[in-house]
Structure 1
């Protein structure tokens, strides 16, 4: 059984034995039992507070085997706006609610939440329900907390 205790930065040339697709929430867990797509059970035993990003490499503690993390597509709300200021206002209001948000110059992305969806609609932005990889900002202090 593989037990991953080290994280390395993304390296497209790493000799990985497999990939492990995780949701945004799963990528915040530093100690967890997971099942890979082939059915193999693996354990994460990473330093507390470790947040995995798409492309990160995990190292098994005994064999040194490498596994690449991929951001698993999951249900999300993607927010787009007609103007930059409207997108910034939406980001401001989401930030006031301390929810994980993926921020780009073209869109915001968050986990589905009917209350936040109504708030965003009232702000006049467009919301699309999608299945997509979700890569929220780590936050000002590098930690990600689900509420």
Structure 2
């Protein structure tokens, strides 16, 4: 059993013992039990910790270092002109939907109702299997 209690920012120069692929939802859990092929891992991080792709997790005694990677998961990728993309982000925000926001696209978990709304707004929506890193919110928490 490995208990990971400390989060460190990404650092490619640090050698890691293990890599954990976690979904967006799993990266928002501060208390979590994971089973790998060889180990049982417990996350015991400060409440409210959100993990990002590349973050490092350490055991309290620093004997184990684990790199977190964003696991590809089913998502909708939304593209449009800048104004239409802004409108889409506005409407998704009104629904408190976790959304990854970039200059060129929005990414969200699949939902047929939201997909229909987005297409009605004039966006192009494609299903994909990609890493997902939604915004954590203005007040530091996910809905």
Is TM (by shorter chain) over 0.5?
yes
TM score, norm. by length of structure 1: 0.93
1:66-116 Cα offsets, whole Å, 9 max, x none, are: 0000000000000001x1000000000001111110001110000011111
Corresponding position of 1:28: 28
Query: 1:5–1:58: 8 Å Cα contact kept in structure 2?
Result: yes
Once residues 12 and 63 of structure 1 are traced to their aligned partners in structure 2, the CA distance between those partners, rounded to angstroms, is: 17
- 1:132 offset after TM fit, Å? 0.2
User: Is 2:71 aligned against 1:72?
Assistant: yes
SS in 2 for 1:5: strand
Question: C-alpha distance in 2, partners of 1:114/1:2?
Answer: 39
Are residues 1:117 and 2:115 paired?
yes
Structure 2 residue matching 1:85: 3-state secondary structure: helix
Following the alignment from structure 1 to structure 2, what is the Cα–Cα distance between the partners of residues 129 and 106? 16
**C-alpha separation in 2, matches of 1:107 and 1:49:** 27
Aligned mate of 2:86, from 80, 88, 106 = 88
- For structure 2, the residue ranges without an aligned partner over 5 or more in a row are none
Q: TM-score normalized by structure 2?
A: 0.96
RMSD: 1.1
Q: After the TM superposition, which parts of structure 1 deviate over 3 Å for at least 4 consecutive aligned residues?
A: none
Structure 1: give runs of 5+ residues left out of the alignment.
Answer: none
CA contact (8 A) 1:73 1:134 kept: yes
C-alpha deviation, 1:39, in angstroms: 4.1
Cα distance in structure 2, aligned partners of 1:7 and 1:57: 6
Shift of 1:65: 0.9
